[in-house]
Each structure stands twice: as structure tokens, then as C-alpha cells.
Amino acid sequence: MRKTFTILSVITAVLLAYALYQALVVAPTDAQQGEVYRIIYYHVPSAWTAFLLFFINFIASIQYLVSRKPSTQAAAKWVVLAIGVAGVVACFLPAVQRLIPAGMRPSAVATTVLLIPIFYFVIGWLFPGDRLDVLAVTTAEVGVVFCTIVLITGPIWARPVWGIWWAPGDIRLTSTLVLWLIYVSYLVLRRFSNSAQTQMLAAALAVFGALDVPLVYFSIWFFRTQHPQPVIGGGGSMDPRMLRTLLDSWIAFLFFAFLVCWSRFRLELLHREVEEAHAMESLAGEGVAAKASLPLNRSPR
Amino acid sequence: MTGPIESPTNSLWAVTLATLVKDIRLEWRSKDALNSMLFFSLLVVVIFSFSFDPLAEESRHIVGGLIWVAFLFAAVVALNQTWARELRNQVLDAYRVSPAPANALFLAKALGNFIFVSVLEALMTPLFVIFYNLRVLGPAWQLIPVAVLGTWALVVNGTFFAAMSVRTRSRELMLPLLLFPISIPAVLGMVAATTSILTGEESAHFWIVLLLTYDVVFTTACLALFGMILHAE
């Protein structure tokens, strides 16, 4: 395990260096924005990584909540499957296709919908029982870090390009900020809660946060249509070299995020093991303490 | 405590009604929550009116924000007391082991808070009208659905998060930290709806639909998850 971690660290460092080189040297300069646009190679991959981590957190929290009762767990499986099938079918109905914003292909939306059941089952299979909660902590913490990077690099870019640090009516800025606020409150709850109930409370809050996100998005979307806002280059055409660099950066960031999550995950597992051992020790005295030894005292396997 | 045994303690509505009546009676006798909310929002009105020095024309644009911020902060005062009352004498633990449905308790608490906050709004709105010289330019009747839906949006999540924060170390502090981020779309909806009705410049329909959606989504979520929160150990 230690060996894999070292190898993965080296690969991540190489990938990050390569992505930085691509972003600063290889990628062409933007025709309108000049050199300052290069910050998107850190900004956008961080955003995608943060959203992915929050999504995993949501799935893990749902799994944790339903796994308390076998009956809800069985029902949830079918509900998730139904959501996947219905979502994919709906994307190809003409009535629904009209609702999809221009520039998004229905097949892309269908693939995104299909990710919900895939993530659900893969996460449930890889992380049984209380490990779901450990995964939720990990992804929330690392996700908040990446989201913070997004919120810092965004204004740095906006100041020279838009002429303002912050656009209160902008849909992406504001919904990312609200997402960040929700997950910070999630972490605060975990910090302030008693250990026995934390997991359930946190999972419930994560579900509330996920339900909130579409509402935030729609409310700001409508708010924006009433208020003037800075013009954002309307997606569409991007130099293929730029897109390639962006994807390279994202892969590097994903490796990095995985690495951080992995070490945080192991740390949290150890932390819980220590707590459990302490609890056993104080409960049953010396006899049991010998059996439930502290993991840090163990010789490395 | 020793009620007649034949009473239908398991029926959702019977328990809801009994708890609601108990809460209202307690509040009627003590008036703790209502008095502190009233005084608090009165202070907010007075302080805001000093800080902004409103003219009638401008005030129409800002008062929607002020009034809902005042109610939001005041509601937190009432919400924090919701469950603290049940912690004394281990009432909540007794409820946990009783066969009564958990959602009945939640509904009663949410309805109770809804009534308290509605009373507060009914008393405070005239004061806002006086302090800011308001005259509604849009369809005034739409303020009623906005008020009802907005209050329920605050109260339903507030009751739920109060039940969560009562389990944490710094109870009073936790509730706004949990409630405000989740409430952002609702607050945006209430403020924007009230402003557009007061100014009469835009239609408030979208915001009313948004508030309705918010209410439906989060009432469902609260009812689905409250049992787990109550029994979480």
C-alpha cells in the first residue's frame, strides 16, 4: 500500500508539472483576453474536481442513510435504477429536448444522468457500512479545498477581464459560492457534533444541500435575467489545443485529488480505530485493551 | 403524562394536534418566544431606519430585503427554543421510546413555529409600513401567498435543523450556520417577490412558484428524514 502511494505521488507530481508546462507554454494565447486567461487551466479543473467530489459526497450520504434499514436499501436500489433509465429515456423525448439549453447535446445529458446509478452502485460496493461516512467526510473536506481554489482564482481572473472582482448576479459564481457555504456548514456540523450522532446528522445535511443546489441554480438563473451582468464568452468554439490542455490539467487534478482523498481516508480510518480502542479501553479495563491495541502501536504489516 | 389509555396515541393527526395545542398553550402562558422575537425585530426595524434614512421611492426597493432579514433573524430566536423546551425533564427521550410517530412531533413543532412567526409578521408589518412610508404599487394580495410560503420555507427547515443543532455542542450558534446556507434560494425568492410586488415593476409569479417548489421539496425531505434524526444514536 505504501509503495502504491509513493508511485502514485510521483505520477501525480509529473502530471501536475506537465499540465503546468502545457498551461503556461504550450497552450496558445487567447485572442481577446491575452495571457491572463491561462488561469482557467487551474480554475476550471478545480471546479470540475470539486463538483465531482461533492457529487460523491452526496451519493455516499444517501447510501449511508438508506443502509440503516434493509427495506429502504432495497427500495433505494430500484429507485436509483429507475432514475437512471427514466433519465436516459427522457433525454431523447422531443418534449424534454426542448428544455435542454442550447449547446448541450442530449446524449451528453443522458451520459451524465447515467452516472448517477453507476456511481451509486460502485460506491456502495467499494465502501460498505461505516466506510461510506468516512468517504463522505473525505470528499467534503477535499471538495471544499478545491471549491475555495475556484472561488479565489475566479475573481483574480474576473478583475482584468470583466473589470470587477465579483458579479453578484452571475449564475456560476453565485451558485458555486452557495455550494461552498453549504459544505462549510456541513464541516462545521461535523466538528461541533457529538461523535455518536454526527454521521447521521451530516448525511441528512448533505442530502438537504444536494436538494438545494438546483433551487439555487434556478433562482439565480431567473434573478440574472432581470439584472444586467457581465458578458461571458458564449462557450462554443475553443481552440482544440486549449481544450486538450484543459483536459490534461483536469486529469492531473483528478490524480492529485485522489491522492489527497486517499491519505485523508486512511487518516480518518486510523483516527476512528484509535477512538474505538480508547473507548474499549475505558469500558472494559486492561483485559480487553490488550486485544484492541492502538493501531499506531502495531508493527507495520 | 397519565392520559386515558384508549386515546389514539398512534394516529398522526391526534399526536400532532395534542403537541401543537400543548406548545401553543405553553407559549400563551409564558410568551417567551413571541416577546423576544417581537422586541428583536422591533430593534432591527429601528436600527435599519436609522442606518438607511429611507425616502419612499428608494425604500420600496430595499424594504423587501430588510423585512425578510428581520423576520429570518427573529425566527431563529423562536426556532432555537423549539427543542430546548423538550430537553428539560428528558421529554425528548420519552418521546423517542414512545410508539407515537416521529413525524407528528415534527409537524406539530413546525406548525407551532409557523403560527408564532406568522403572528410576529402580522404585528411587525404595520410597523414597517409606518417607518418606511410604504405604498404597494403592484398587486398587494400576492403578498399573502409570498408571506405564507416564505414563512413555511423558513420554519420547516428551521425546525428540522433546530432538531439537528440541539444535538451539537454549541446549540444556539449552530442553527443559523446550518439554516442560512440552505435557505438562500428561499430568501432570494421572498425578497425578490416582495420587491417586485412593492415596486410593481415585474411579475412575482416565478418567485411564488419557486417558493412553492422549495416548500414541497423540503417538507418532503424533512418528513422523510426526521425519524432518522430523532432516533439517531
- Which tens digits make up the pLDDT trace of A267-289? 999 998 998 898 888 888 755 54
Angstroms from A198 CA to nearest CA on chain B: 9
Q: Does the pLDDT of residue A36 top 50, yes or no?
A: yes
Q: Which three cell numbers mark A269?
A: 480510518
Measured CA distances, A47 to A22, A37, A177 (Å): 19, 16, 11
Q: Flag the least confident range among A204-208, A210-214, B77-81, B129-133.
A: B129-133
CA torsion sign for A209, A212, A214, A219 is negative
The verdict on a CB contact (< 8 Å) between B210 and A209 is no
Q: How many CB atoms lie within 10 A of CB A167?
A: 20
Q: What is the average pLDDT across B123-128?
A: 88
Residue A200 touches chain B, beta carbons under 8 Å: yes
CB contact under 8 A, A218 and B210: yes
CA distances from A266 to A40, A262, A270, B76, B178 (A): 32, 6, 6, 38, 28
**Contact across the interface for B182 and A68, Cβ inside 8 Å:** no
**DSSP label of A68:** T
Q: Which of B95, B75, B79 is nearest to B19 (CA)?
A: B95
Please say whether the beta carbons of A143 and A57 come within 8 A: yes
- Inter-chain contact B184–A216, Cβ cutoff 8 Å? yes
Contacts of B168 in chain A (CB under 8 A): 189, 192-194, 201
pTM: 0.86
pLDDT digits (tens, 9 = 90+) for A112-171: 888 888 989 898 889 888 889 999 999 999 999 999 999 999 888 888 887 888 877 677
Q: Which residues pair with A193 in a beta bridge?
A: B168
In this structure, is the dihedral angle defined by the CA atoms of residues A53, A126, A251 and A264, taken in order, positive or negative? positive
Weakest mean pLDDT among A188-197, A243-252, B15-24, B173-182: A188-197
Neighbour tally for B2: CB within 10 Å? 4
